[in-house]
Structure 1
Amino acid sequence: MEPQKLQNILIVCLIFGYALMEWVSRRYKDTVTANGNDTKLELLMFLSLLAIAQPIALLVTGKLCAWLIPDMRGAWANWPVWAMLGLLLVGDDLTQYLWHRASHTPLLWPLHRAHHSAEYMSIRVTYRNNFLYYMLMPGLWIAGIFVYLGFGMTYAIYIVVKIAVILGAHCAWRWDEPLYKIRALRPLMWVLERTISTPATHWAHHAITNDDGIGHYKGNFGNLMFIWDILLGTAHITRKFPAKVGLIDDRLFGQERWYHQMFYPFFQSRREHTALKFGGRPYDDSQAPTSTVTST
């Protein structure tokens, strides 16, 4: 079976599997409060990533490589799997960590803000971002080079594992929560939560506030590997989950429209306290009333 076809089949199975667990556990029904605006943003971003951003990155890098290094097509196909995975972890996952971290700076925040504007956690949030967030993501383009060099099947398996972790980190079904309570699993969970992203560490990144000691929206940037946060000093591990996720300015001034979130800077918001217009600034969460950030 072709790597791309196998990859797509496994990804579809993962999505349905996590969706089933969200439903069976009742977490989706009890916690996901999405409206039509959320659905349009999440659905269109997911489709645009699959149909536009990823294909363009693979196509363009393939064409450029064929032009600049025509003799290198498939040249690394016989590398050992561990070497390919090591290069993918650095070239794709570490660069995505750095891109994600940079996207929390004022310059790039408008391209990532949509991901944090959801007031719930679910697999549907996973690819909720601005369209340019993925078009400009370095790892997506670097991956195209690796595919050209012959990483085909290894890359497909790597992506499936990565998506399994990322979907799990956003899932409304918090798969790690009961495992922390099993004494025999404590050593394993200690290692696991420092190696890959888990719901506890990633939900903290989506928290609406850091004041409770659980939220950590200025850290926990890891996608597949949480170890980047450990090594680069941005990790915060509590094994607890924030009472609320989302953005304070949305709660105070109303949700941004889906097309402003997805297509900024081509469409710009007129809302008060917005990052989605030239010269705009988000609301300073230090000024937020206590009632907007604590559990009810």
Structure 2
Amino acid sequence: MGKLDGKVAFVTGAARGQGRSHAVHLAREGADVIAVDLCSQVDTVPYDLATPDDLAQTVAEVEALDRRIVATQADVRDGAAMKRAVDDGVAQLGRLDIVVANAGILSFSTAEEMPDEMWDDMIATNLSGQFKAVRPAIPHLKANDDGGAIVITSSTAGLRGIQNLAHYTAAKHGVVGLVKVLALELAPDKIRVNSVHPTNVNTDMIQNQSTYSNFRPDLDNPGKDEVQDTFASLNALPIPWVEPADVSEAILYLVSDAGRYVTGIQLPVDAGMVVK
């Protein structure tokens, strides 16, 4: 018997990385899944984003667990598209209990040199996109006698400042404010709202040349081996990054009955980065 038997979860950014991990973890515990991902490129993002094939792989992994999944290519920046994806998923799967607003992008620039387009893409995706994903889910969660749970992915950058990431840091701090307000507004309907705050996670978002070069500007074309010590130096625990599954386990706690009285919190999964 799974911790989420009979539940339905809506996961954004589900094609790969953390989003796929979250979708598969929740499915393993018995949840059916509504999955969305952009599956195309954003001009200001310096690494390859997920593809339709990536989303198809998520579908295959969820179905291999004998769970149902409704997957849609949709942009979290488009509120109407999010509403269609949520409403269609609920129509097919019968209900909605869990929202994991996870979709996000990363890029680097000093604030002084940052072009408007880079700032706008980041805020639109990592902050407004979280809101636009959560908003259409609220009526479906309110329809449940036992409420539901929302988790929004923030970052250690939502709890501290990180250089060359003014846009990302602003968006992730904004998520914290959004969570606190939603937790208050939705508590009467037994809907809990929390955020998770990972340190670097071992996904394509950090495992790429742009990120390596940002953290090791002293080297020409640094690789994974050259950045591990630098990443590890950011954390209190001597590790360079956590795995997507580590974040998924934290989310499972927050959305399951184990966390039934936990709302409005910021849960770091950060190897001690915030306290260092």
Higher normalized contact order (CA 8 Å, seq sep 6+, divided by chain length): 1
Coarse TM-score class (shorter-chain normalised): under 0.3
Q: Given the two structures, how large is their TM-score scaled by the length of structure 2? A: 0.27
Larger proportion of helix:
1
Larger proportion of strand:
2
